[in-house]
Amino acid sequence: MLKKIYRSVRLLPKRGKEPYTSFYKIFGFYPYNITLYEQALRHKSSSIKLKDGRWINNERLEFLGDAILDATVADIVFKEFEYKKEGFLTTVRSKIVQRETLNKLALELGIDRFVKASTKNNTHNTHMYGNALEALIGAIYLDQGYRVTKKFVYERLIQQYLNIDSVAELEVNYKSRLIEWSQKQKISVSFDLIDSYVNEDNTPVFKTAVVIVGEQAGIGTGYSKKESQQKAAKEAFDKIQNESDFLNHILKQHEQEQKMHDDLYTKHAEKDIQPTSQIEENHKQ
């Protein structure tokens, strides 16, 4: 099959076969539907508008790739650490799929050279390349299926650029993970300093609470604000990952809060709109 694809690629004009060759160097296989991969590399700042009014960029593929990456990494970690408990497996998966790791992997693969964007990868958009990698994983899944996608994640990402045992020992930036989760869910999260004092050794101590949709989700104490925030974020993130009742409660609270906001907006909008007859009567006066 690969020889057949390669022969068809060779028949393309020089300019036409360049994308296939570039993708082969990254993935280790030739795409069937190259349009998917080109879309995966198109940042929303360089969206294309189709005749039917739809805008084409990599956001939908990024959404799919995020879910597929979670599944493949969970599959790999489950088999790699045969006797480890759920909490450990969840933590290792989180370390591999976090945005900082994906951005690093994207740069290692050279994906940054192919991303089409009209904005620079600055401090406001630091994960553009990692997001593109997720979109490419979505494209591989649609184009090649789960088996090839898992092979790419394991052989080209984890084995080639990550040491899975070393990754397991790394500290997770729980604050970043929690903020990332809140942004995806469109749920408000705040880090509130609730106490600070000097202990018996004359060392400053800080106490931070994580509040999600008005609910206190975690408390952390540390010798710096950053340390206390990380500990509080870890407690909150563990709750979200492992306590379904707490997660369901938070999601329900968010839904009710959103409904109240929508109802209030509708009420004000209706109040501002006067019937035509009333407008005419006011004009006569």
CATH of the domain at 233: 3.30.160.20
159-215 pLDDT, tens digit per residue, is 888 877 777 766 667 888 888 888 888 888 899 999 999 888 788 889 999 998 888
pLDDT at residue 238 is higher than 70: yes
Domain C-terminal end among 169, 190, 213: 169
Regarding whether 75 and 101 lie in a shared domain, the answer is yes
Residue 274 lies in a domain: no
- Please give the residue that has the higher pLDDT: either 283 or 237: 237
Regarding whether 162 and 136 lie in a shared domain, the answer is yes
Q: Which residues of 173-208 are buried (b: 16+ CB within 10 A; e: fewer)?
A: bbbebbeebbeebebebebeeeeeeeeeeeeebbbb
Order of strands, sheet of 215-222, starting from the edge strand that comes earlier in the sequence = 189-198, 204-212, 215-222
> For the domain that residue 29 is a member of, what is the CATH number?
1.10.1520.10
38-73 pLDDT, tens digit per residue, is 999 999 888 887 777 788 899 999 999 999 999 999
**Considering the entire predicted model, what is its pTM?**
0.58
Residue 196 lies in a domain: yes
Domain C-terminal end among 127, 142, 169: 169
Regarding whether 215 and 111 lie in a shared domain, the answer is no
Measured in residues, the chain has a length of 285
Residue 31 lies in a domain: yes
Number of domains the chain is built from? 2
Domain enclosing residue 181, as ranges: 174-263
Active-site amino acid positions: 66, 134
- Give me the pLDDT at residue 9, please: 36
Residue 70 lies in a domain: yes
Regarding whether 142 and 64 lie in a shared domain, the answer is yes
pLDDT at residue 132 is higher than 70: yes
- Give me the pLDDT at residue 123, please: 37
Regarding whether 141 and 75 lie in a shared domain, the answer is yes
